[in-house]
Chains A and B, each alone.
Chain A
């Protein structure tokens, strides 16, 4: 029996994550309300628009329940907008919002749209620590981790900036593995969710 993994389904590329995770044998639940988090071993926060997702997380009181899932040993993985939501500090939020809300579970400073607007979005082959061959990586208005705290492991960099980081049951990628056919990172995450904590 595969692990039970939630995918935050407020908005964005949640169906793509769902497809990858199910192909690897996970039981997937779409998370829109706090009750949807019950019994999960892990949660994926997908790509999309971080301001929209943060706003809906406040509206539906999801912040504390997601932190509680992590506290009780749950694994978390954020891709692009999802990575922003996991970070301790967010740079580049619209000024009228003040500080952008985030879960703060990963001790990094994330810079939104670090590589430019849509016209600057790019794909590349990215070497990632722990994978035997480079990963096809899709960077769409992507963020970068511009400060990395003590103990945070940097698994890949692009142009000198960290784009994959991991620490304390939290994985964050600035790009979109869910948009490619390569599911090695999903496989890694599913395996992590099977490890008893």
Chain B
């Protein structure tokens, strides 16, 4: 019998590749997970409250009840992700023990550690982490993240921050490609990112892992915009189950990600979806309410 390896970086990153061109949806019940799967989600993110409700209710947001996560795992055949607080090693161990397929070390929950993130390479289960810029993304990859999502401003239904962070990450990648090789160590110093990963970006013109958009995607056009900017797929949180017709909106957003280059299809699927989530103007948020600024 030949050697068999599990939990390797290739397997974790390869798994993330399978979500590309797809939509990962936040769900809080098994029923919502079934709706997401039927709508064509490539994975669901199990959490106790969607970001819009975390904003509204306040308090400390933590890992979900394992019972709820188990119910969601039993309800669907697509992969199930779940969130842990930044730096909460034990929440991550619990999710791994439950058999969750992917862990999101997420700024949407209240951070457990204001200095350090989880050493994700120590786990067999792959991790996705948020990032606002390239340095942050590469620090997370250096810690073992197998997937990056640009942060956006979750729970606002306002795509501006997702666009800002996507343009920042992708623009910084293009800037690094344009630098001569002898400048890369200084680039690594300035971005506070591992040198080897800066060299990877210089050579390949992309992150070493899949890069999804997240935070504030509320319409099919928002989702297509993020693909148009050059991301690999989209996370949708409050945007679906806080809208008038979650089934139709979920289906439309899935199709928008596949056909983001086809405006005729986008026009057709954007029609008559009912009201989107109300949304929040980000200028109205006081700094302490901004989730994207968590993480370092």
Q: Please name all residues of chain A whose beta carbon is closer than 8 Å to the beta carbon of B7 when the two chains form the complex.
A: 119
- From 1 to 17 in chain B, residues with beta carbon under 8 angstroms from any chain A beta carbon are 2-8, 10-11, 14-15, 17
The answer to whether A123 touches B8, judged by C-beta atoms less than 8 angstroms apart, is: yes
Could you give 6 example pairs across A and B, Cβ below 8 Å? A14-B20, A32-B258, A48-B20, A51-B40, A121-B6, A138-B14
How far, in Å, is A135 (CB) from chain B's closest CB? 11
Cα distance, A70 to B260, chains bound together (Å): 28
Chain A residues with a Cβ under 8 A of chain B: 9-16, 32, 47-49, 51-52, 55-56, 59, 80-81, 92-94, 96-97, 112-113, 117-126, 134, 138, 140-141, 176, 179
Partner of A125, one of B3, B99, B101, B262: B3
Q: Please name all residues of chain A whose beta carbon is closer than 8 Å to the beta carbon of B17 when the two chains form the complex.
A: 12-13, 16, 47, 179
How far, in Å, is A99 (CB) from chain B's closest CB? 13
B130 within 8 A of A: no
The answer to whether A118 touches B79, judged by C-beta atoms less than 8 angstroms apart, is: yes
Q: Please name all residues of chain A whose beta carbon is closer than 8 Å to the beta carbon of B76 when the two chains form the complex.
A: 94
Knowing A124-B3, A140-B14, say if A51 contacts B77 (CB, 8 Å). Answer: yes
Beyond A12-B22, A49-B19, A49-B79, 11 additional contacts (C-beta under 8 Å) are: A9-B258, A12-B17, A12-B21, A32-B258, A52-B22, A94-B34, A94-B37, A118-B101, A121-B11, A141-B15, A179-B10
How far, in Å, is B187 (CB) from chain A's closest CB? 27
The answer to whether A59 touches B20, judged by C-beta atoms less than 8 angstroms apart, is: no
B102 within 8 A of A: yes
Cα distance, A10 to B76, chains bound together (Å): 20
The answer to whether B258 touches A56, judged by C-beta atoms less than 8 angstroms apart, is: yes
